[in-house]
Amino acid sequence: MTPEQLAATIDHTLLNPTATAADVERLCTEAVEWGCASVCVLPYFVPTAYRLLRGTPVAVCSVVAFPLGATTQRTKVAEAEDLVMTGARELDMVINLPALLNGDDTTVEREVAAVASVVHRRGGILKVILECGFLSPEQQARATQIASRAGADFVKTSTGFLSRGATVEDVQGLRSAAPPPVRVKASGGIRTYDQALALLRAGADRLGTSATAAIIEEARQRITKT
């Protein structure tokens, strides 16, 4: 995989609570230079990222109910509406983990559907974060099926904040459980080119990482050596 092909799968991510406007500007400049799929930023920085990326192929991505997923449906919908109005084209929403673990699949599905409706009205993309580190393979499959029925465009392995990061096994399980139109995003702990390649080979369509620079540089070095 060439560095350009790899970059096109990456959501170049900065969700650090101490991020500054200068950090976001650098993130956006790098994403355009490398040809990343999107930048993923905190809701506060969506207007900044939109201003910097307007007219480029790089999408603005942000997060809903991050990182716990335990806010109310009304709060999630309001957050999604605000983000799409201020320039986000892609939203990564944390699934309602307490509801899922309590077997309240109706609430989980209703919340995802409500946010999906907001995002899709604007022609956007919704990724639903499952936080696989807290779920058994059976729960991961169930969550994937719920999110898929509710209109998710992607299911995503983790926030990278609460539990372990993405694994090949997670990606394979989500890919197996998701119907063909639904894609898979791997996120959390992706630091090397080999990790990125393994997750893509396992079935991931998109990668979320803050280590994009190191991964792209390693890809370039591999190409040079061959």
pLDDT of 110-124, one tens digit each? 999 999 999 999 999
Q: What is the pLDDT of residue 226?
A: 63
Which of 52-57's residues contact partners 24+ apart within 8 Å by CB, and which partners?
52/24, 52/25, 52/28, 53/28, 54/87, 56/32
Q: Supply the pTM of this predicted model.
A: 0.96
Alpha carbon distance 188, 81 (integer Å): 26
Look up 156 and say whether it is catalytic.
yes
What percent of the chain clears pLDDT 90, i.e. is strictly above it? 95
Q: Which CATH architecture is the domain 3-225 placed in?
A: Alpha-Beta Barrel (3.20)
pLDDT means per 10 residues, the chain with 226 residues, are 95 97 98 98 98 98 96 98 98 98 98 98 97 97 98 97 92 97 97 97 98 96 79
Q: Looking at 11, 153, 156, 170, which residue is catalytic?
A: 156
121-169 pLDDT, tens per residue?
999 999 999 999 999 999 999 999 999 999 999 999 999 888 889 999 9
Q: What is the share, in percent, of the chain residues with pLDDT greater than 70?
A: 100
pLDDT at 163: 80
CA distance 169 to 182: 18
State the catalytic residue, choosing from 92, 127, 153, 170. Answer: 92
Annotated catalytic residue, options 76, 127, 153, 185: 185
Per the annotation, the verdict on 92 as an active-site residue is yes
